[in-house]
Amino acid sequence: MDVSLRRLQTGDIDQVIEIEREAFSPLWVTTPFKRELNNRYACYLVACEAAEEEEPPTDADPEGSRSLWSRVLTSAQRLVPGSQGDSDSPTPIAGYVSVWYQGDEAHITEIAVRESLRGNGIGELLLIGSLREAVEYGSEVMTLEVRVSNFIAQRLYEKYGFKNVGARKAYYSDNREDAVIMTTSPIKSEEYQSMFRDLQETYLTKWGEIRFQSKTTGSSQS
């Protein structure tokens, strides 16, 4: 899986809106991403095609990274007239996460992956990136809401130390479904960081290198 994380850029916005619409319809209301780019109390990360040239899939891996990106590239190019085969076509975006910083909390407001690319570890990569950014920002804990029926997402969050701390009744307007409120223990503690390092090593073993461009250094970390 040849995927990297970086900050949202203006040229990504059309694709991110498409992913947002797909993931959150019929509740979908467009986030003002362009305005939010300058919000110092928010962080928007995208999972995109890695910068370095990818190797073609081997016979043992016919559904490798090239297949993954061929599925998203069509959607990306469709958003830009005349971009088919054009060197100026947008970098394919597979998913995104938005985080708001509120006091000592980092709050995940949205995390979404293109439906055709789910099951490739992209959502987990976005979660890893948001936790790294929260630690760098100085947040003490990370919080989020998730549908009570979304057991897959809840299991992922539990894996990263999120715990059920309450509920928001009738939180989702489409069906009046409750939301589970989940939060971590202190993310800068040695106990949490030890667990987080182990989880990243496990992720690396399963999915490959974690490429993450830091906001402050501009360098790749793994």
CATH of 3-221 given 3.40.630.30, 3.40.50.2300, 3.40.50.150, 3.50.50.60: 3.40.630.30
171 is catalytic: no
The pLDDT tens digits for 87-100 are 345 789 999 999 99
pTM attached to this predicted model? 0.81
Going from N- to C-terminal start, the domains of the chain cover 3-221
The pLDDT tens digits for 152-188 are 999 999 999 999 999 999 998 888 999 999 999 999 9
CB 104 within 8 A of CB 143: no
Gyration radius of the chain over CA positions: 17
Residue 109 to residue 217: CA distance in whole angstroms? 25
What are the backbone dihedrals phi and psi of residue 130, each rounded to the nearest 5 degrees, phi first?
-65, -35
Residue 111 confidence class, pLDDT cut points 50, 70, 90: very high
203 is catalytic: no
The pLDDT tens digits for 66-86 are 444 444 444 434 444 333 334
How far from each other are the two terminal CA atoms of the chain, in whole angstroms?
A: 14
Q: Residue 178 CB: number of other CB atoms within 10 A?
A: 15
Residue 48: HSE in the Cβ half-sphere, 13 Å Cα cutoff: 22
3-class DSSP assignment, residue 42: strand
Set 44, 96, 101, 157: catalytic member: 157
Set 145, 171, 172, 177: catalytic member: 145
CB 34 within 8 A of CB 13: yes
